[in-house]
Amino acid sequence: MGGFLIALVFLVVVFLLMGVRVVRQGFVYTIERLGKFTLAADPGLHLIIPFIDRVGQKVNMMEQVL
């Protein structure tokens, strides 16, 4: 019983960590839910639903010098 409980806690922690996304400064991530655009994630910490939400594009918003 103890091993089962440890395995269950481990799986829950892994599941929660899979849902954490950190958007770096200068970027905007598009978040898609089941393949359809949901939101544009600004820089910072964001929580998504694993296996349902995914990062579609990582858009560089920094100025480019020509």
DSSP for residue 48: -
Report pLDDT for 20: 94
- pTM of the predicted model as reported, rounded to 2 decimal places: 0.75
* Average pLDDT of the residues in 1-16: 91
The pLDDT of 54-64, averaged and rounded, is: 91
Q: Is residue 63 part of a domain?
A: yes
- The mean pLDDT of the chain is 93
**Strand residues in 1-66 grouped as ranges (E):** 20-23, 27-33, 36-41, 44-47, 53-60
Residue 2 inside a domain? The answer is: no
User: What mean pLDDT do residues 19-34 have?
Assistant: 95
Residue 1 lies in a domain: no
Residue with tokens 């349902």: 52
- Give the count of domains, the chain: 1
| Phi, psi dihedral angles at 60 (to 5 degrees) | -80, 120
What is the C-alpha to C-alpha distance for residues 40 and 42, in angstroms, rounded to an integer? 6
What integer is the mean pLDDT of 20-26? 95
